[in-house]
Structure 1
Amino acid sequence: MPFEDALLRQWLTLHGVVVAIALVFYVTVSRAFPQRRDPSAAVGWVIALALLPYLALPLFVMFGSRKLLLRDPPPPRGAAVAGADDGALPALWAQRLGRAMGLADATGYERLSVHADGAAALRALHEVIASAERTLDVSTFILAQDRVGEPVIDALKARARAGVRTRLLIDGIGALLGGRVDVAGLRAAGVEVVKFVPPFRSILRGRANLRNHRKLVIADSRRFWCGGRNLAAPYFELPSAGRPLARPADSGWHDLSFDCAGPLAADARRLFDLDWAYATRAPLGPRSPLLGAGAPAHARAAAPAIPAAATALASVSPMAAATALTAPPQSDLAPPPEGDRAAAPLAQLVPSGPDQVDDTVQVLLVSGAFIARRRIVAVTPYFVPDAGLQQALTLAARRGVEIDLVLPARSNHRLADLARNRPLRELHAAGARVWLTPHMVHAKAVVIDDEIALVGSANLDARSLFLNYELMVAFYESRDIGRFADWIERERAAARPYVAKAPGLLRDLAEGLVIWLAFQL
């Protein structure tokens, strides 16, 4: 017994030392590299490190990082949009906030097409790919081996064989979800293929939990296809021949995408270049265009300096200034449209993720909820918001803002469906209207006061808002904002109202546990 007691004391002492080392490591890393963690995530890591340090510490090293280390100082706060006054630009609050977060200024676009359904989206996708004459850049989370993915792969090969520089950036985890992509065949045809943060090569770098969820196709920096659709059959409302990707329904999912032309496509090309440079660990080329202050430090270091003449642009219109400062070489752009370019509709790329100093999409949504005067209309497949966004939406509903939130009655993620009930009950009690569609809806869009429409890849959940590389596009043209609102309204018209039900004890505990873990999952 004395011998066993001595062994127990030695083990407890050693265990206490390991726990202390783990907690000191966590505190040191958190202080040295601020991550702005959700409180539930911070508490979860501390508890895990205290109870299971042998397991939790390696997991923290692999999955605990949320932001890349940006060595440059953050952009100045409160900067105004050049040449603008309170009535000069639509949704000025959003553009000023974007400027303060280091985003590129709003720029022009033309020929916007909001895809009515999957068939229209698929036609537009192939049209954009076929239109490429010099460069074709594709970023996706999933590229499936099915009736959508395989023709896309064939189209990429065809453009590469035609002499078009074709690049495919696919997420490291997403590449496994739709079936193994034939990387060798693509490369043999001349397509450059890179996997973004391959999970088994990024563990020791602490990047294994960071996913690139952006979906965009850019042809010649002139045409731009974007939205929430992965390149797989269910996202285009097509059956997936029994593949598990199609759960929970056999029919295809309703999703939202769009395409347009003009300078906005050139901005998207810049963003793609940044992601490509990070994935390949290579500097940007000598012709790299001007980058915003929120771009990663390694990418900004490779970018050319701002021309001295740029300071003279403060006296011209905001649209002209944005176009002049952000335009790539003229050979990569379509000819300017007839008439005054300053009258073109405006839109702004809103990338979010570890490559941004701020949580840009979450900040815009919270600010928009507090600023909204009339209504907020949103569609999302998953609704597990952070405390800040939940409070902003709840307070907006309580002060009389009409809030309509459209969700699938049953999504493909059962844990997300379980976790959403607690925030939905709170919103419903505050006066918000929640609508449940009979089909899976995978669209991501938010319209605020008919002044701004945020459309793209970000779900209203903690992973999208804080962990993933995401892309939303902020549209400021009232006519086009109305088109996105109409798309959401068509989904709402087919939905039934959500009925809040008080949970039992076990369900309430389960919901709380899932919400607690949702930030990291």
Structure 2
Amino acid sequence: MGPNTTIFAVFLAVALPLLVAFAVWRAVTTARTPQGAVAWTVFLVAAPWFALPAYLFFGQHKLKGYRITRRSSRLVRREMDAFCADYPPAEADGARYRAFERLAAMPAVGGNSADLLVDGKATFEAVFEAMDRAEHYLLVQFYTIAEDGLGNEMAERMIAASARGVSVRLIFDGVGSYGLPAHYLNALRDAGVQVVDPANAPGPTKRFQINFRNHRKTVIIDGQEGFIGGHNVKDDYLGKNPTFGPWRDTHLHLRGPMVAQLQLVFAEDWHWATGESIGGGLNWRPDSAEENLSGLVLPSGPADDMDTGALFFISALAEARERVWIATPYFVPDQDVLSALVGAALRGCDVKVLVPDAIDHYLPWLAAHAFFDEVRAAGVEVLRYEGGFVHQKVVLVDDDFAAVGSANLDNRSFRLNFETMALIFDRGFASRVAKMLEADFTSAYKMDKPLHEHPRWVRAAAPFARLLAPIL
């Protein structure tokens, strides 16, 4: 037996069990759910050669740096909250806002307007027009940016803004924007745009992380206007991908105090990724809007002390008395959200879930099939959109509450990604959202087929895909 063989044998006998034991201890003590702890423990013990690298990439759940960032923004938060106190929400009864305010750590505020932007053409026309109006600064954040027609137009707008003296900051996600060439980013930097990929944030394990993606999609102009929703910067979002055809997505154009809340989320992300505090140079007192909508911005992510993303859906479902309509590209709920969804249907609410008929990722598509029978048995109506690919993230509750943003109805958005939702409490706005979704329903069919009637490969694979729900 050679020396290399001996070293390998010692590793197998001593080091590997120790590494597995340490990883199991970490999984048990840091997992966000018991199901996740059990899944990682079984995987690590049963297949350590595969599980150890997977745990390094997927299994870490602590983001102390982001918590430090939250503390560092307290002064800005106090100033912003003092401003927001001058714009109380229209509804006097604050009880209905309380859960969402506590989850967001920000108050519900009045004095807002929210323009509903349906699909990519309307969204990016509005975004680019607003960017061209910028006089002081632009804050741009997207999960996916591609070097294509739309991506190049976005770059041109940022470069033009920088050339006229506007401060421009860009955050993008390295995984979501995988393949974005260096020359694209270098051209922005050479023009004076400050560019950050949060994957380069400090931390010894950061380079290995595939989880904890920054899935937010926002643009902020001079602290006066903000955009939030489901669109990324890629030609697909203009319906130019022949595989998917028309791309169905939704964004909001915000004005009023909610823009300051959206801006705070960006400032915290920037500080975490760079160590630079930019709050002192931003406008925290946007003009109020005559429409006077009430609402708040609710950020969520793996650094939160609570499972904010899941609790948003649970709280919204608990609010419902008449209806809950949800549009999401991925339907992979955890047990708590699943129970809340079923509970709303059992109370007699009209519960509809709009999902795509087209497939972009097979694992979540398969996992969803393992949930459909259960929710349909309780009275939930599952609709599959045939008019292209539905990517919007929209929640409508009763006739006076709607939310639009970046969070999908899946575990990744609940616990692993940084997300942001804009919550609006207003009958007029909810009516516009209802009409939008009703139009979407006309391009969808009701899914009645139970799992046992699907092709054999779907029946066989769906339960196994559901086992991966904690990371889908």
| 1:92 and 2:95 matched | yes
Distance 1:447 1:329 in 2: 29
**Residue type matched to 1:486 in 2?**
K
Other-structure match for 1:278: 272
2:317 to 349, 366, 369: 369
Cα deviation code 1:342-384 (max 9, x no counterpart) = x921111111112322222310211222342111001111111
Other-structure match for 1:19: 17
Kindly report which structure 2 residues correspond to 1:231-242, keeping only aligned pairs within 5 A, or say none: 231-237=233-239, 239=240
**Residue type matched to 1:210 in 2?**
F
- Residue 403 and residue 119 in structure 1: after superposition, are their counterparts in 2 closer, same or farther (change >3 A)? same
Other-structure match for 2:109: 107
Q: What is the deviation of 1:248? A: 3.7
Other-structure match for 1:480: 429
Distance 1:29 1:461 in 2: 21
- Residue 435 and residue 91 in structure 1: after superposition, are their counterparts in 2 closer, same or farther (change >3 A)? farther
Distance 2:215 2:391 in 1: 13
Q: What is the deviation of 1:224? A: 0.6
Does the aligned pair in 2 maintain the 1:143–1:170 contact within 8 Å? yes
**Ranges in structure 2 where 5+ consecutive residues have no aligned partner:** 75-83
Other-structure match for 1:255: 249
Distance 2:160 2:87 in 1: 45
- Residue 193 and residue 119 in structure 1: after superposition, are their counterparts in 2 closer, same or farther (change >3 A)? same
Other-structure match for 1:51: 46
- Residue 206 and residue 82 in structure 1: after superposition, are their counterparts in 2 closer, same or farther (change >3 A)? farther
Moved more, 393-402 or 378-387: 393-402
SS in 1 for 2:42: helix
2:32 to 32, 36, 49: 36
* Percent identity (aligned): 29
**Residue type matched to 2:51 in 1?**
A
Kindly report which structure 2 residues correspond to 1:399-478, keeping only aligned pairs within 5 A, or say none: 399-438=347-386, 439-478=388-427
SS in 2 for 1:96: helix
Does the aligned pair in 2 maintain the 1:145–1:181 contact within 8 Å? no
SS in 1 for 2:412: helix
Q: What is the deviation of 1:54? A: 4.0
| 1:351 and 2:344 matched | no
SS in 1 for 2:280: coil
- Residue 201 and residue 13 in structure 1: after superposition, are their counterparts in 2 closer, same or farther (change >3 A)? closer
Q: What is the deviation of 1:116? A: 3.1
Distance 1:200 1:510 in 2: 39
Distance 1:108 1:67 in 2: 35
TM score, norm. by length of structure 2: 0.86
- Residue 489 and residue 97 in structure 1: after superposition, are their counterparts in 2 closer, same or farther (change >3 A)? same
| 1:62 and 2:57 matched | yes
1:218 to 212, 217, 220: 220
Does the aligned pair in 2 maintain the 1:62–1:208 contact within 8 Å? yes
1:209 to 204, 208, 211: 211
- Residue 469 and residue 253 in structure 1: after superposition, are their counterparts in 2 closer, same or farther (change >3 A)? same
- Residue 85 and residue 149 in structure 1: after superposition, are their counterparts in 2 closer, same or farther (change >3 A)? closer
Does the aligned pair in 1 maintain the 2:142–2:232 contact within 8 Å? yes
Does the aligned pair in 2 maintain the 1:348–1:474 contact within 8 Å? yes
- Residue 194 and residue 461 in structure 1: after superposition, are their counterparts in 2 closer, same or farther (change >3 A)? same
SS in 2 for 1:279: helix
Distance 1:498 1:397 in 2: 16
Q: What is the deviation of 1:91? A: 7.4
Other-structure match for 2:340: 392
**Residue type matched to 1:512 in 2?**
P
- Residue 214 and residue 87 in structure 1: after superposition, are their counterparts in 2 closer, same or farther (change >3 A)? closer
Does the aligned pair in 2 maintain the 1:410–1:417 contact within 8 Å? no
**Residue type matched to 2:470 in 1?**
F
Distance 1:484 1:187 in 2: 39
Other-structure match for 1:176: 178
Cα deviation code 1:252-273 (max 9, x no counterpart) = 3111111021221121111101
Give the number of the structure whose alpha-carbon radius of gyration is greater.
Answer: 1
- Residue 11 and residue 363 in structure 1: after superposition, are their counterparts in 2 closer, same or farther (change >3 A)? same
Moved more, 179-188 or 372-381: 179-188
Cα deviation code 1:157-214 (max 9, x no counterpart) = 0000110000110001122156666111001111111112159997456633211110
Does the aligned pair in 2 maintain the 1:236–1:255 contact within 8 Å? no
Other-structure match for 1:379: 327
Does the aligned pair in 2 maintain the 1:382–1:411 contact within 8 Å? no
SS in 2 for 1:144: coil
Does the aligned pair in 1 maintain the 2:172–2:196 contact within 8 Å? yes
Distance 1:488 1:44 in 2: 37
Distance 2:27 2:435 in 1: 47
Does the aligned pair in 1 maintain the 2:104–2:299 contact within 8 Å? no
Distance 2:243 2:114 in 1: 32
Other-structure match for 1:264: 258
**Residue type matched to 2:38 in 1?**
V
1:497 to 446, 449, 459: 446
Does the aligned pair in 1 maintain the 2:230–2:250 contact within 8 Å? yes
**Residue type matched to 1:278 in 2?**
W
Q: What is the deviation of 1:247? A: 6.6
TM score, norm. by length of structure 1: 0.78
Q: What is the deviation of 1:17? A: 6.6
Does the aligned pair in 2 maintain the 1:107–1:264 contact within 8 Å? yes
Distance 1:434 1:200 in 2: 43
Moved more, 381-390 or 203-212: 203-212
Distance 2:449 2:93 in 1: 37
Does the aligned pair in 2 maintain the 1:229–1:236 contact within 8 Å? no
Does the aligned pair in 1 maintain the 2:323–2:349 contact within 8 Å? yes
SS in 2 for 1:496: strand
Distance 1:363 1:153 in 2: 36
SS in 2 for 1:197: helix
Does the aligned pair in 2 maintain the 1:406–1:434 contact within 8 Å? yes
